[in-house]
Structure 1
Amino acid sequence: MSNPRIEFCGEWYDVHPDEPFYIGRDADLVIDENPFLHRRFLAVSKENDLWWLANVGTLLSATVTDDSGQVQAWLAPNARLPIVFPTLNVLFSAGSTTYDFTIHSTSDYFATSQLTSASSGETTVGPITLTTSQRLLVVALAEDILKQNSPGRGEIPASADAAARLGWTQTAFNRKLDNVCEKLDRHGVQGLRGGRGKLATNRRARLVEYAVSTRLVDADDLILLDRNADDAAESTAGLAEPPA
């Protein structure tokens, strides 16, 4: 079994079995100088003939998926998981920025089937479906990340900016955000629910991580934002026309 390689922002990093490879603000792979990011957040190491990805931080969590997006795990602090797929995608957020990188290896212990899409304006990942407006909301939040051509970083807009992008009121945006987070939480998606029945304060970041990593939305959905803007412009123009 050859050693894994990590791809981030168009650059490749080699991992060796004799010592852990750290990822963070001050590590073997320097992700960013973001003060919200741990100095050492994640580590790739070899133990008992298996390669492992471990969360060595204390606050942040990461979303990890296989290349198909069908297998997804939430890697909390002090947790670790074996690298058993040829391609492993890792997403995490620090502050308002979401980062992603890819671990490439020759591991092929498991295989997964591909995603399927519904034909009625809804996206399906397992049992989870999004309505058109819910998908618009998620795409607006994930727009910067979906525009990337390779693993790297992207900014998650504030709720007010995302609402303006969609032409929605802040109240409507927050209500729809509540609805989609509650839907995913009911389907077992971790990190969207805070304590005592409340939604998590960092739910926008976690929502984007999950949606992008599991292919709930992808770059093909970006056209929905343009269509929504065109529809809004036509509606505004129609209202502005004087009566015949």
Structure 2
Amino acid sequence: MSSENKSDVQVEFAGEWFPVSSERPFVIGREGDLAIDENQYLHRHFLEIGLADRLWWLTNIGSRLSATVSSGEGTVQSWLAPGASMPLVFADYVVVFTAGPTTYEFNISITQPEFEITPSVRRPVGTETVMPLRLNDSQRLLVVALAEPMLRRDAVGASELPSNSAVAERLGWTMSKFNRRLDTLCDKLDQMGVQGMRAAPGKLATHRRARLVEYAISSRLVSKTDLTLLDNESLKAQD
């Protein structure tokens, strides 16, 4: 590892920092420079960070899983599908992805970024500018309940995605009420251009819920302060 690039890029996962070398790609997956987990649903080699053409790039080298990548402020977001690459031009990134029932989150920090986020930021190629989303009370409650395990963590890492039935029970809703509100929210996000909100033929509904949680966490749609909503019985009882 060259000394001048030793700390240019670092990855944080579960409170541990990993320096990225400019001399070879940094591999993230079930195995690699950052061995995330022994989860059988996680690719052996999933994501790769490397230096090319004077830019740092994040590449999805997996074949099935996608990752949600956003700037540290949650202003610019990209959905990184298998085979896709994106330049890392900002100072901080949050990367969220789901493998099987588990959702993972890690951070990327760059000491000498090419750009800074401004209020008038424009959309770089391959990314979407996160537009303000107005959630009604029941929609925010639904998102918080789905993202609760991630919001209750003290640091980035792994968390289990709750089942539909567990969330419905947590909120005191029937399954039909839960499904109706989930459908409405996902349709709303789909109309805004957020990818992955519609269940594709042959894909489990889990993928849509996972994408919703990834989007909510990485875009700062909900935060720890919203957890108090889960104790609001009158809010849960609203039709």
TM range (shorter): 0.7 to 0.9
CA contact (8 A) 1:70 1:113 kept: no
Aligned pairs for 1:162-173 within 5 A: 162-173=167-178
Quickly say closer, same or farther: Cα 1:232–1:104, change in 2 above 3 A.
closer
Residue 7 in 1 paired to residue 12 in 2?
Answer: yes
- Deviation of 1:231 after TM superposition, in Å, equals 6.6
* Aligned partner of residue 38 in structure 2, secondary structure: coil
* Aligned partner of residue 128 in structure 1, secondary structure: coil
* Aligned counterparts of 1:43 and 1:133: Cα–Cα separation in 2: 38
Pick aligned residue for 2:228 from 206, 219, 223: 223
- Deviation of 1:86 after TM superposition, in Å, equals 1.0
Pick aligned residue for 2:39 from 26, 34, 40: 34
**Residue number in structure 1 paired with 2:151:** 146
* Aligned counterparts of 2:83 and 2:33: Cα–Cα separation in 1: 19
TM-score (norm 2): 0.87
CA contact (8 A) 2:91 2:116 kept: no
CA contact (8 A) 2:145 2:167 kept: yes
* Aligned counterparts of 2:176 and 2:99: Cα–Cα separation in 1: 26
- Deviation of 1:150 after TM superposition, in Å, equals 1.5
- Deviation of 1:149 after TM superposition, in Å, equals 1.9
Please identify the structure whose Cα radius of gyration is greater: 1
RMSD: 2.1
- Deviation of 1:226 after TM superposition, in Å, equals 1.6
Pick aligned residue for 1:72 from 72, 77, 86: 77
* Aligned counterparts of 1:34 and 1:62: Cα–Cα separation in 2: 16
Q: State the one-letter code of the partner of 2:224.
A: A
* Aligned counterparts of 2:57 and 2:235: Cα–Cα separation in 1: 48
CA contact (8 A) 2:137 2:235 kept: no
Residue 157 in 1 paired to residue 157 in 2?
Answer: no
* Aligned counterparts of 1:111 and 1:27: Cα–Cα separation in 2: 30
* Aligned counterparts of 2:175 and 2:209: Cα–Cα separation in 1: 14
Aligned residue pairs: how many?
A: 222
TM-score (norm 1): 0.85
Q: Give the share of equivalent positions with the same residue, in percent.
A: 53
- Deviation of 1:108 after TM superposition, in Å, equals 2.8
Moved over 3 A (4+): 198-201, 230-233
* Aligned partner of residue 86 in structure 2, secondary structure: strand
Pick aligned residue for 2:30 from 25, 28, 44: 25
**Residue number in structure 1 paired with 2:124:** none
Could you list the runs of 5+ residues in structure 2 that have no partner in the other structure?
A: 120-129
**Residue number in structure 1 paired with 2:62:** 57
**Residue number in structure 2 paired with 1:132:** 137
* Aligned partner of residue 27 in structure 1, secondary structure: coil
- Deviation of 1:93 after TM superposition, in Å, equals 0.3
Could you list the runs of 5+ residues in structure 1 that have no partner in the other structure?
A: 115-124, 234-244
* Aligned partner of residue 223 in structure 1, secondary structure: helix
